[in-house]
Structure 1
Amino acid sequence: MICFTNSPTVSATLLNPRAYTYQYRTITTRGAFFSSTYGQEDLIAPSTNKSIGFINKEMWVFLNDNEWIETGATKGPVSNSLQTPNPGSSNKSYWQGHFVAYKLYNSSANQYEYHEVAYGSQNPTGTHNFSITYIGSNTWVVYSDYARVLTISPVPYSSSKYVQVGIETNETTSSFLSGTFASNWQLKDTNDIWHLSTMAVNGDSNNLNWSSSFSYNSSNSTNLIRYSHP
């Protein structure tokens, strides 16, 4: 789910491009981790276009500008099978819970292919932890609450270009509880050592008056990304 920097335009209630509120780091890293409190609980599903409209609270690890891995919480349709590339609405079912997705170039098919799938149980509550980590041998692994969810291999990248944590939607009637947040954002360096992120750059791109802010507390070594709207 690639991010755009220009302002969204609205066609009916669908957004093109999509709306984003997020914080990011342009950094070479071999992994990223974050905690999401009230992930899907704080999301408000689209009231129209339910077959294609969605809202996500998630993290993206971009391998380059066109290829990435993402995971987090969603309310919206998700593919029924990870094996189906670029799934259409007929291949999806509505889901309220955790998901994982990736977009990689398939040299055999000579095209970029997007894959996604839901995991866990519907309507998870509380705080959940997510990570996307390179483990060597052209292999990336997605974890949820420290349990392996998906292994992606072969991937011709051993590190990221940049990492984002935020909220995304493609529909104007979706929203979120203002004040919802993510925390404990960590990045793994090329020596495989984890570091708490002490800074971030704002990447908000939407016309829904959504905004995000990053804070770091050095006294107790915590960070927080908070999402707001009027």
Structure 2
Amino acid sequence: MAHRILDRVQETTTSTGTGGLTLAGATSRMLSLSGAGFVNGDTFWGLIEHATAAEWEIALCTYASAGAGSITRATPLKSSTGAAVSFSAGTKTISLVAPAAVLTLLGSLEAVNAPTISAGALTLDLLLGTVHRVALNADVTGITISNALAGFASGFTLEFTADGTTRTVTMPGNVTALNGTYTPSISNGTRDLLNFVTLDGGTTWLMSIVAQNY
């Protein structure tokens, strides 16, 4: 399984609804997913467009090779409805694309995100930024790291700002601390800087404490 970025790959489908889409072959002068070398479980960013209706969606798609081939799609990055599109009857095209948000993630310019802690949960979405600045105003009992790209190494920086109260941060089970267990600073306004790297598309993460109490 790998994440694929390829040119001139475009298929059609007549499937409807918000679920999986059965593939119906490549468009003229384009390659099918199987013809481009996709194997079961490969992922790609897909633009799905209805031929006549105002319905479209950009989502991370997973290829299944059984039968004629099909794809499943994750929560869309963008769409005509702002959510998963329930495609109506008719022909749709599925094209491989490189979304701007993903190119920003992979590029040298790093977007800064400011997620908040909600009922102990903290979500770090790598499509929203590779630098995350968090006000540590509550204990963090769970961290979700989302949208690491399968097949790619990637990383992000996490900065916590203390609020003067003793707080705890529980790391996910797939995070390995390279230079000690992280204990947050306490003094109001002081900051801690952590660095995270994955070499396997987000399955496991390596965490380093870069600086504390600055």
Q: TM-score w.r.t. structure 1 length?
A: 0.29
More strand by share: 1
With a CA cutoff of 8 Å and minimum separation of 6, indicate the structure with the bigger relative contact order: 1
Q: TM-score w.r.t. structure 2 length?
A: 0.31
User: Which structure: larger Rg?
Assistant: 2
